[in-house]
Structure 1
């Protein structure tokens, strides 16, 4: 077991956090034109997390 947070744990915690934050934001009273930018940034973060490769397996 290595010290630090692994790529798999980063994906799990990151995606859960972003999904929770997105749900809270969707239910809040923020203007729609501001929500577009917020969800764009959150979508970029989710795309990065889904695109992470597992360094232990190499480039598969």
Structure 2
């Protein structure tokens, strides 16, 4: 799903280690894109869970 959303059709390198690095870069780009969309829509200041203050 993530690959299709970012028009990522094939790996550009060969080998397990190189493919792992490439998919990690795609995953980081996806997370940065999600964060960017949250910042643009003013939802970045909300927490998903309540923050516990340490005493």
TM-score (norm 1): 0.45
Structure showing greater relative contact order (alpha-carbon pairs closer than 8 Å, 6 or more residues apart): 1
- Which has the larger share of helix? 1
Structure label with greater radius of gyration: 2
Alignment TM-score, normalising by the size of structure 2: 0.48
